[in-house]
């Protein structure tokens, strides 16, 4: 019996050693065939452009094609659902924004995934801030003047967004909540129209996406008061962060992009992809291209720090979604 137990122990030890060696071999050889990166937005969008930039870098550094597969629609779930049934082997990756990775957790009623349970973040590589803009016809030139004016005219001002439940909508609702403001939401079907109607005087203000608003700001058709990020936006460096020019020094409300693999992907492969992404995203040429899109490039934090950040974002947006009565409304 003792010999049997020893034999079983030896076999178990050999199995563990073989498993470790196999995992190491997989990491050393990875990738041995093309890798597919699923993108939840359409080709030509800012996210798609960035994914293609780093996919090209990964193809060159790792020696196999990183193929882009655009699956827009269904609140990013088409792209996510394409990866869920795939093996956890690093050959099917998915990019998500904060909407897909954190806000969907509270907004969607039939969500098919849990970001923390089903995915491991490989790289948090960009933040997408919003610009607080107002109609230049308004006597408002600063965040504090906006808060004062709105409190003096409750229910008389309006703000636009690209749609109920979208990040620009939630960012402005966060502003209203923090300062106790009564400003009417006017949802649109797309971002460009929601911004051009401020310049036309039909709506008073918005937290606007940079791509749709920076040209109008530079033409004097919109007045920029602040950016929603913790640091200035490189394309309009003179516009200060909201937290620096308001009575809320903790304010940061941005979208962000991250690359994910399936949970259970061997740790050596996860580490390899994380390290390669960190190298690629630190290249000045890549950072400059991201900046020209009106976004803020990041030096990707560690996987553990990224997981903690996503958890905090999920909690923050989830609390706001519930407060607005939007939980499980999509």
Q: Please report which residue ranges of 84-121 form alpha helices under DSSP H.
A: 98, 104-107, 115-118
Residue bearing tokens 């919003």: 130
Residues 231 and 301 in one domain: no
With respect to residue 9, please indicate whether it lies within any of the assigned structural domains: no
18 pLDDT band (50/70/90 cuts)?
very low
Q: Please name which of 173, 130, 181 lies closest in space to residue 154, comparing C-alpha atoms.
A: 181
Number of domains in the chain: 2
The reply to whether 143 and 222 lie within a common domain is yes
- Tell me, yes or no, whether 168 and 221 share the same domain: yes
Domain that holds residue 225: 130-244
pLDDT digit string, tens, across residues 34-85:
999 999 999 999 999 999 999 999 999 999 999 999 999 999 999 999 999 9
263 & 237 share domain: no
Residues 236 and 148 in one domain: yes
Among 85, 89, 91, 99, smallest CA distance to 69 is for 91
With 0.75 as the threshold, say if the pTM is over it.
yes
**How far is it, in rounded angstroms, from Cα 167 to Cα 146?**
21
Q: What is the mean pLDDT of the chain?
A: 92
In a domain, 259, yes or no: yes
CATH code for the domain of 109: 3.40.190.150
Q: Residue 157 falls within a domain, yes or no?
A: yes
Answer yes or no: are the C-beta atoms of 189 and 207 closer than 8 Å.
Answer: no
Cβ atoms within 10 A of the Cβ of 42, count?
12
Residue with tokens 């407060």: 323
> Which tens digits make up the pLDDT trace of 162-216?
999 999 999 999 999 999 999 999 999 888 999 999 999 999 999 999 988 999 9
Look at residues 284, 102, 97 and name the one whose alpha carbon lies nearest to residue 209.
Answer: 97
Q: Do 280 and 141 fall within a single domain?
A: no
Tell me: do 278 and 306 sit in the same domain: yes
Domain co-membership, 67 together with 143: no
Alpha-carbon Rg of the chain, whole angstroms?
23
Please indicate, yes or no, whether residues 237 and 269 belong to a single structural domain of this protein.
Answer: no
For residue 124, what are the β-bridge partners?
A: 258
């Amino acid at each position: 019996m003792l010999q049997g137990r020893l034999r079983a122990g030896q076999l178990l030890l050999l199995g563990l050693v073989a498993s470790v060696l196999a995992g190491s071999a997989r990491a050393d050889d990875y990738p041995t065939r093309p890798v597919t990166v699923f993108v939840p937005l359409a080709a030509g969008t800012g996210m798609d452009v960035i994914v293609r930039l780093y996919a090209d870098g990964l193809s060159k550094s790792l020696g196999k094609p990183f193929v882009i597969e655009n699956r827009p629609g269904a609140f990013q779930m088409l792209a996510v659902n394409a990866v869920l049934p795939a093996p956890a082997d690093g050959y099917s990756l998915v990019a998500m924004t904060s909407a897909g990775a954190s806000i969907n957790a509270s907004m969607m009623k039939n969500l098919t995934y849990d970001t923390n349970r089903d995915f491991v973040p490989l790289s948090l590589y960009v933040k997408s801030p919003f610009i607080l803009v107002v109609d230049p016809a308004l006597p408002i030139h600063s965040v504090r003047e906006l808060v004062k004016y709105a409190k003096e005219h409750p229910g008389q001002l309006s703000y636009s967004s690209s749609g109920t439940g979208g990040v620009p909508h939630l960012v402005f609702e966060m502003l209203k909540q923090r300062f106790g403001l009564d400003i009417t939401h006017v949802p649109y079907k797309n971002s460009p129209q929601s911004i051009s109607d401020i310049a036309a005087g039909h709506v008073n203000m918005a937290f606007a996406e940079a791509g749709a608003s920076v040209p109008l700001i530079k033409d004097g058709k919109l007045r920029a008061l602040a950016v929603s990020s913790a640091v200035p936006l490189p394309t309009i460096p003179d516009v200060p962060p909201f937290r620096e020019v308001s009575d809320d020094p903790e304010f940061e409300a941005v979208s962000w992009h991250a690359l994910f693999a399936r949970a259970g992907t061997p740790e050596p492969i996860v580490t390899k992809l994380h390290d390669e992404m960190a190298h690629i995203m630190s290249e000045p040429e890549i950072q400059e291209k991201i900046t020209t899109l009106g976004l803020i490039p990041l030096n990707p934090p560690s996987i553990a720090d990224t997981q903690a950040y996503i958890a905090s974002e999920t909690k923050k947006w989830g609390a706001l979604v519930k407060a607005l009565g939007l939980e499980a409304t999509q």
